[in-house]
């Protein structure tokens, strides 16, 4: 029996569960100094002066870096769309543009001393007018985040495909709505951390960093710090979640490395939770004005959206392309022939927007699925029925979307029907009237998704960065005992990709799962890879491991052929033993071949010694995973509290290499979707203060808030060798819309119009009980 | 963040704690630390010295009879939540303890600390006021009894004198109690909460009533008008609605991220009605 397809436990769980994980903060080196940052308390201000004298004199302080001169001596950070990007430096010396921007770095012998001294740095600010809110940022008289640009507008994309004007002219109904997707924070359990260890004698620099893509970081650092990549080593040790927020190189992280090089001493920095809320990237934050053109029977003829993306104050790695992804996925699983989508992107005095699990696509799914719901209700059609009428049917596949994405296979209507069946759609609808008479308001909502994932090939224009590989790698090295190490370019930080890779390789090499170790996250040992993000683990990294394993087997056949005095083409490998085709004897075990490959005792120099192979895999195209969700909710109309009675997720990720891991990925994604619908929000006050900078205000769903989940899988193998599709981000896409649609259904008698999330109790109550107008 | 430097003293007995706390305003007591430690880390509280009373002997123990529930100040809120005896004779306290923050907080937070911190969002102050309990306080001048109505002065301020320490809670028991709290998420502070404790006679008549709130501008205000509406009645629907409305109308509320005044007032009314219904059902059950 093979390992693939089995619900095997994740290799790392026992170690992590007993507290033996080693995160950046757990790593100690001699002579280390600790960093603490002075961060801007204002969203927009000119820096008139920085007094570091008291801090320099404080106990244990080794150095304080601050001021225009120091900042300008520091290297620029890499950004997406470098031509359009305002310069971003490790410290800012003249101006602050968001709350939390690093102004000074204090290095001291202990972390407590560094933090104490940082509180002694006095910064003289001249406050400037603050610009918040994307539409306000576009106004002619808006204060400018980057005055030298002359505008807060970053760019405009306008895609008109098909005949939208004709569609709207011919429509029997046009439904217009506003949909806002609020700003959220990734909130990883482990905040960010960096430990930079320079070796002045050789010019080498080793960096431990809570990151998702160590090779990318290494290449950028080489450019930035003018250190050969051969002298740079980036290690992602155990990393406690990233969700996209650790895909960047941040200003504070680079400051720590730069400081270590200045001092010639190791420097360590561990982000506090409070810092993480302001100094780690945010996500989402789009406002759409949408119009849907419908025929009388509910057929969608066209879709218009004019939307704006609030990108914050600077570009990080993917900042400007996140909303671009929203455009290209705005028709989802539906056959909508004509579209007119206009996107404006703006700078504001806030932290940057970046990739976060489902980035761009989650916004699109929410807006589309809310819009269909609203359209169906407005024209008096059942929302489920309208979806079934408009979904791309299996007969239409392969289907090219208006945005030239080609959906390969699947059965979207069947999945939606199944989700509706599992939640008990008809029964819930049928009991609503009686329950409402008793004051019980329950509703059902559905939503579908199509996850564009496994971003590739490398050169495609989704990739705005000069150094950011789309490929993935694996090096498989078999030792003389036949045990095997896979060095994977993936950099899993909670996903379990290491376990999945071991399963794949175990089956291909026909050896036990437990004989395989998977290493990752260290540029000194791992071949050049892209890391973990964008639901690419199995889709890209899995195939790299598969190909490398196939190469190892081919090499092993060469060795076996030499031992069996046969041509390697005549050697078959099955059931874990090598034999000459057609003959029964003699057979060689894997371990015998592995030993011979290294010591050549029996076969002489008929092959190159060793048993290992490397593969680099750049997929020819992106991948798609899809599904349907349904939510059954109850709303307490007296308090506005939403309880999710049950949540159904029907997902197709192709072949599930490890069903337990697939379930876990979906659970986590759904949890984040629940958070987007009901709990999470980065909020600013009118001065740009992040008022949600603690878990007392930024509400994360916990186990208590998780609904009862009913999961079912469809399996439509993709056209890839493994038949896999992505899954890491899937749960985030349709979950929020299904929940909000269910709430709207529950509150039908009140006719509430939901335009923004999260639907916290007070927000929903105000919609149910609007203030009486005079 | 890390707290600024402070001195730490481990008190060995009540007298030691009292004399340490009497040394000045900037000396603070710590027991479970579930309120003080976050305030230290956020550098909101900046005591010069912290006196740890967590291991002082004699401040633990739960003693329950039908008439009263007595709790040592160091009893944890988890212990209150888990006590079958309290659940039987004083369900208000069980319900209030069960909705305090999350299990991690409840395992460490103490009943004495929950009261002495006088946070208007805390739950036990409202339970103490509704049940007309009292605390024993020991200080430089000996032991005195403080009635619930006299304990809370204003947010984060009690009538405890410098050096005084809550050592024990004495709470009249009643099966006719209930606590209703609205939280936005399980681990969140409450939006508002309502504590109800009734004394119901054999004929179903309400002989006395205690109603108090959490989440208002004051710490655990007593809803006098709600109580008066209840006393002498048999707690019918009209009475419940009237008392709930009175509690809502009289609540001194402030708008914040948890909701507008209008919202909070509506929720006080809804929760008060639910708590009263449950308390009355229990009393008649």
pLDDT band (50, 70, 90) for residue A270: very high
In angstroms, the separation between the Cα of residue B6 and the nearest Cα of chain A is: 13
Q: Are strands A641-652 and A472-478 parallel, antiparallel or unpaired?
A: unpaired
ipTM over 0.85: yes
> Residue A286: is its pLDDT beyond 90?
yes
How many CB atoms within 10 Å of residue A602? 14
Nearest-Cα distance to chain A for B204, in Å, is: 27
Q: Dihedral through CA A245, CA A251, CA A256, CA A259, nearest 10?
A: 170
CA–CA distance from A88 to each of A97, A251, A619, A656 (Å)? 11, 8, 33, 42
In this model, does residue A126 exceed pLDDT 70? yes
Cβ-defined contact of B184 to A702 (cutoff 8 Å): no
**CB nearest to B185's CB, from A640, A683, A705:** A705
> Do the Cβ atoms of A766 and B188 come within 8 Å?
no
Q: Which of A639, A691, A692, A700 to mutate to test the interface with B (most CBs of B within 10 A)?
A: A639
Count residue pairs from A and B with Cβ separation < 8 A: 62
Inter-CA distances, A164 with A305, A742, B116, Å = 11, 30, 66
Asked whether the beta carbons of residue A639 and residue B182 sit closer than 8 angstroms, the reply is yes
pLDDT in tens, A616-654: 999 999 999 999 999 999 999 999 999 999 999 999 999
Residues of chain B numbered 76-135 and touching chain A (CB < 8 Å): 102
Residue A331: band (very low, low, confident or very high) from pLDDT cuts 50, 70, 90? very high
Alpha carbon of A639: minimum distance to chain B alpha carbons (Å): 6
Q: Does B189 touch chain A (CB under 8 A)?
A: yes
Residue among A640, A705, A769 minimizing CB distance to B186: A705
Task: Give me the residues paired with residue A36 across strands.
Answer: A106
For B182, which of A115, A761, A771 is closest by C-beta distance?
A761
Q: Rounded distance, CA A287 to CA A281, Å?
A: 19
Tell me whether residues B2 and A112 touch, CB distance under 8 A: yes
Residue range B239-251: mean pLDDT, rounded: 98
Confidence of residue B131 (pLDDT cuts 50, 70, 90): very high
User: What are the C-alpha distances in Å from B135 to residues B72, B115, B130, B152, B170?
Assistant: 10, 9, 14, 11, 6
Q: Which domains does chain B have, with CATH numbers?
A: 7-52 (3.30.43.10), 62-172 (3.30.465.10), 176-284 (3.30.390.50)
Q: According to the model, what pLDDT value does residue B42 have? A: 87
The two beta strands, A267-270 and A33-39, are parallel
Using alpha carbons, select from B161, B60, B67, B150 the residue that is nearest to residue B111.
B60
Q: Where in chain A is the domain with CATH 3.90.1170.50?
A: 13-128+189-241+246-279
The residue among B114, B117, B145, B121 whose CA lies nearest residue B132 is B145
CB contact under 8 Å between B1 and A679, yes or no, is: no
Is a pLDDT exceeding 80 seen at residue B194?
yes
Average pLDDT over all residues of chain B: 96
Phi first, then psi: give them for residue A8, nearest 5 degrees: -75, 145
Q: Give the residue from chain B lying closest to A758, CA to CA.
A: B184
**Which candidate in B104, B119, B191, B257 is best for mutational testing of the A interface (most A CBs within 10 A)?**
B257
- B189: chain A residues, CB-CB within 8 Å: 696
Q: Does A683 touch chain B (CB under 8 A)?
A: yes
Residue in A with minimal Cα distance to B188 = A696
pLDDT at B125: 98
**Contact call for residues A152 and A308 (beta carbons, < 8 A):** no
**Chain A residues with CB-CB distance to B5 below 8 A:** 116
Q: Tell me the chain A residues in contact with residue B185 when contact means C-beta distances shorter than 8 Å.
A: 679, 699-702, 704-705
φ/ψ of A156, rounded to 5, equals -135, 135
Name the burial class of residue B97, with classes exposed (0-12), middle (13-18) and buried (19+) by CB atoms within 10 angstroms of its CB: buried
Predicted pLDDT at A558: 96
Chain A residues with beta carbon closer than 8 angstroms to that of B258: 762
Looking at per-residue pLDDT, the higher value among B188 and A299 belongs to: A299
Question: Spelled out in words, what is the top-level CATH class assigned to the domain A357-456+621-768?
Answer: alpha beta
Q: Select the residue of B4, B186, B259 nearest A702 (Cβ to Cβ).
A: B186
DSSP state of B110: B
* Residue of chain B with shortest Cα separation from A693: B42
Asked if A765 and B266 come within 8 Å (Cβ–Cβ), the reply is: yes
Percentage of chain A beyond pLDDT 90 is 95
What band does A83 get if pLDDT is binned at 50, 70 and 90?
confident
CA–CA dist A362, A341 (Å, integer): 17
pLDDT in tens, A672-710: 999 999 999 999 999 999 999 999 999 999 999 999 999
Contacts for B82 with CB less than 8 Å, ≥ 6 apart: none
pLDDT digits (tens, 9 = 90+) for B196-232: 999 999 999 999 999 999 999 999 999 999 999 999 9
Residue of A nearest to B5 (CA): A116
A488 CB burial (10 A radius; 0-12, 13-18, 19+): buried
Q: Distance, in angstroms, between B99 CA and closest chain A CA?
A: 12
| Closest Cβ–Cβ partner in B42, B260, B271 for A766 | B260
Looking at the complex, report in whole angstroms how far the Cα of residue A662 sits from the nearest Cα belonging to chain B: 27
A769 touches chain B (CB under 8 A): yes
**pLDDT, averaged across chain A:** 96
Residues 242-281 of B with CB under 8 A from A: 257-260, 262-263, 266-267, 270-271
Q: In a mutagenesis test of the B interface, which of A270, A637, A762, A771 is the best target, namely the one with the most B β-carbons within 10 Å?
A: A762
Which listed CATH number (3.30.1370.60, 3.30.1490.100, 3.40.50.9100, 3.90.1170.50) goes with A13-128+189-241+246-279?
3.90.1170.50
- A758 to chain B, any CB pair closer than 8 A? The answer is no
Q: Does A269 touch chain B (CB under 8 A)?
A: no
Residues 660-679 (A) with a CB less than 8 A from some CB of B: 679
pLDDT surpasses 80 at A774 = no
Give the pLDDT confidence of B144-186 residue by residue, as tens digits. 999 999 999 999 999 999 999 999 999 999 999 999 999 999 8
B268 to chain A: nearest residue by CA? A639
Structure-block tokens of residue B104: 């991690």
Mean pLDDT score, B31-49 = 93
Query: How far is the C-alpha of A662 from the C-alpha of A147, rounded, in Å?
Result: 47
Q: In A, which residues are within 8 Å of B122 by CB distance?
A: none
| CA within 13 Å, CB half, A758 | 29
Contact between A761 and B189 using a beta-carbon 8 Å cutoff = no
B187: contact with A, CB 8 A cutoff: yes
Contact with chain B for residue A110, Cβ under 8 A: no
Query: A115 at the B interface (CB within 8 A)?
Result: yes
* Cα of B221 to nearest chain A Cα, Å: 21
Kindly determine whether residue B259 and residue A697, on different chains, have CB atoms separated by under 8 Å.
Answer: no
Nearest residue in chain A measured CA to CA from B263: A762
Confidence (pLDDT) at A147: 95
Closest CA of chain A from B144, distance in Å: 36
pLDDT at res. A1? 57
Write out the residue limits of the CATH 3.30.365.10 domain(s) in chain A: 357-456+621-768, 472-617
Give chain A positions within 8 Å (CB) of B42.
Answer: 274
Cβ contact (<8 Å) for A699 and B184? yes
A115 CB neighbours in chain B (<8 A) are 1-2
**Contact across the interface for A702 and B259, Cβ inside 8 Å:** no
A605: pLDDT strictly greater than 80: no
Q: What is the pLDDT of residue A461?
A: 75
CATH of A472-617, one of 3.30.70.141, 3.20.19.10, 1.10.1070.20, 3.30.365.10: 3.30.365.10
What is the C-alpha to C-alpha distance for residues A481 and A611, in angstroms, rounded to an integer? 11
């Amino acid at each position: 029996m093979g390992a693939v397809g089995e619900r095997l436990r994740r290799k790392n769980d026992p170690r992590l569960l007993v507290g033996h994980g080693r995160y950046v903060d757990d790593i100690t080196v001699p002579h280390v100094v600790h960093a603490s940052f002075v961060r801007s308390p204002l969203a927009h201000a000119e820096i008139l002066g920085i007094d570091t004298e008291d801090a320099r004199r404080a106990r244990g302080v080794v150095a304080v870096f601050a001021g225009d001169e120091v900042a300008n001596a520091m290297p620029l950070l890499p950004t997406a769309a470098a031509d359009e990007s305002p310069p971003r430096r490790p410290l800012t010396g003249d101006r602050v543009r968001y709350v939390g921007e690093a102004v000074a770095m204090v290095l001291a012998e202990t972390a407590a001393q560094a933090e104490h001294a940082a509180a002694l740095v006095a910064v003289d600010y001249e406050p400037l007018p603050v610009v918040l809110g994307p539409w306000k940022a576009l106004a002619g008289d808006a204060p400018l985040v980057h005055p030298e640009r002359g505008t807060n507008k970053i760019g405009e994309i306008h895609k008109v495909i098909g005949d939208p004007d004709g569609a709207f002219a011919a429509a029997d109904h046009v439904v217009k709505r506003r949909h806002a997707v609020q700003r959220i924070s990734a909130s990883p359990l482990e905040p960010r951390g960096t430990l930079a260890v320079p070796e002045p004698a050789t010019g080498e620099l080793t960096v431990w960093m809570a990151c998702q893509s160590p090779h990318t970081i290494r290449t950028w650092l080489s450019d930035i710090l003018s250190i050969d990549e051969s002298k740079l080593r980036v290690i992602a040790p155990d990393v406690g979640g990233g969700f996209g927020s650790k895909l960047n190189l941040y200003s504070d992280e680079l400051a720590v490395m730069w400081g270590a090089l200045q001092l010639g001493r190791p420097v360590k920095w561990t982000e506090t939770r409070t810092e993480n809320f302001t100094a780690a990237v945010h996500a989402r934050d789009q406002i759409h004005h949408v119009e849907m053109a419908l025929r009388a029977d509910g057929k969608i003829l066209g879709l218009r959206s004019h939307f704006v993306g609030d990108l914050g104050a600077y570009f990080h790695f993917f900042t400007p392309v996140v909303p671009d992804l929203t455009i290209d996925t705005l028709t989802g699983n539906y056959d909508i022939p004509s579209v007119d989508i206009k996107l404006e992107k703006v700078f504001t005095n806030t932290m940057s927007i970046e990739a976060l699990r489902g980035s761009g696509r989650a916004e699109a799914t929410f807006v589309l699925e809310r819009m269909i719901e609203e359209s169906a209700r407005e024209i008096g059609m059942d929302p489920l029925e309208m979806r079934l009428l408009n979904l791309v049917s299996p007969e239409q596949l392969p289907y090219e979307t208006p945005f030239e994405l080609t959906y390969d296979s699947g059965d979207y209507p069947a999945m939606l029907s199944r989700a509706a069946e599992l939640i008990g759609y008809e029964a819930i609808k049928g009991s609503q009237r009686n329950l409402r008479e008793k004051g019980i308001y329950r509703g059902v909502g559905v939503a579908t998704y199509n996850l564009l994932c496994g971003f590739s090939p490398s050169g495609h224009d989704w990739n705005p960065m000069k150094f950011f590989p789309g490929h993935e790698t694996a090096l498989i090295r078999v030792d003389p005992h036949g045990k095997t190490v896979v060095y994977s370019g993936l950099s899993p930080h909670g996903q379990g990709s290491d376990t999945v890779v071991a399963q794949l390789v175990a089956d291909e090499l026909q050896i036990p799962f437990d004989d395989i170790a998977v290493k990752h996250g260290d540029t000194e040992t791992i071949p050049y890879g892209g890391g973990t993000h964008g639901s690419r683990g199995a889709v890209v990294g899995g195939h790299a491991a598969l190909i490398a394993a196939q190469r190892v087997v081919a090499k092993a056949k060469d060795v076996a052929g030499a031992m069996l005095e046969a041509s390697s083409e005549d050697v078959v490998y099955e059931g874990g033993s090598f034999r000459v085709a057609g003959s029964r004897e003699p057979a060689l075990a894997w371990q015998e071949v592995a030993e011979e490959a290294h010591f050549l005792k029996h076969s002489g120099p008929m092959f190159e010694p060793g048993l290992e192979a490397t593969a680099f895999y750049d997929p020819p195209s992106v991948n798609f995973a899809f599904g349907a969700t349904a939510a059954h909710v109850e709303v307490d109309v007296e308090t506005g509290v939403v309880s999710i009675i049950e949540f159904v997720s029907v997902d197709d990720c192709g072949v599930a290499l490890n069903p337990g891991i697939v379930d876990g990925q979906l659970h986590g994604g759904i949890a984040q979707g629940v958070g987007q619908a009901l709990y999470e929000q980065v909020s600013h006050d009118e001065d740009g203060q992040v008022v949600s900078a603690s878990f007392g205000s930024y509400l994360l769903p916990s186990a208590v808030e998780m609904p009862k989940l009913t999961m079912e899988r469809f399996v439509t193998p993709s056209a890839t060798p493994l038949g896999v599709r992505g899954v890491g981000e899937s749960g985030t896409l349709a979950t929020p819309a299904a929940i909000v649609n269910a709430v709207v259904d529950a509150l039908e008698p009140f006719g509430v119009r939901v335009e923004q999330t999260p639907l916290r109790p007070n927000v929903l109550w105000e919609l149910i009980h609007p203030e009486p107008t005079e | 963040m890390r707290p600024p430097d402070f001195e730490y003293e481990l008190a060995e007995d009540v007298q030691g704690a009292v004399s340490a706390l009497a040394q000045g305003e900037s000396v603070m007591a710590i027991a479970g630390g579930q309120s003080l430690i976050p305030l230290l880390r956020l550098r909101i509280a900046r005591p010069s010295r912290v006196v740890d009373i967590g291991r002082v002997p004699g401040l633990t123990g739960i003693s329950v009879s039908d008439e009263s529930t007595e709790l040592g100040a160091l009893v944890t809120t988890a212990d209150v939540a888990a006590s079958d005896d309290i659940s039987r004779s004083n369900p208000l306290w069980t319900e209030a303890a069960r909705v305090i923050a999350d299990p991690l907080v409840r395992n460490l937070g103490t009943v004495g600390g929950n009261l002495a911190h006088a946070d208007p969002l805390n739950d036990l102050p409202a339970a103490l006021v509704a049940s007309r309990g009292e605390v024993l306080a020991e200080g430089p001048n000996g032991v005195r009894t403080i009635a619930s109505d006299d304990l809370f002065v204003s947010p984060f301020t009690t009538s405890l004198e410098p050096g005084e320490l809550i050592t024990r809670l004495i709470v009249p028991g009643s099966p006719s109690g209930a606590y209703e709290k609205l939280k936005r998420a399980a681990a969140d502070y409450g939006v508002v909460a309502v504590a109800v404790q009734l004394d119901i006679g054999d004929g179903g008549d309400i002989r006395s009533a205690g109603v108090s709130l959490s989440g208002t501008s004051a710490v655990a205000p007593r809803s006098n008008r709600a109580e008066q509406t209840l006393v002498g009645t048999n707690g019918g629907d009209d009475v419940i609605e009237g008392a709930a409305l009175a509690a809502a109308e009289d609540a001194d509320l402030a708008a914040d991220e948890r909701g507008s005044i209008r919202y909070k007032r509506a929720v006080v009314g809804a929760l008060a009605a639910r708590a009263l219904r449950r308390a009355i059902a229990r009393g008649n059950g």
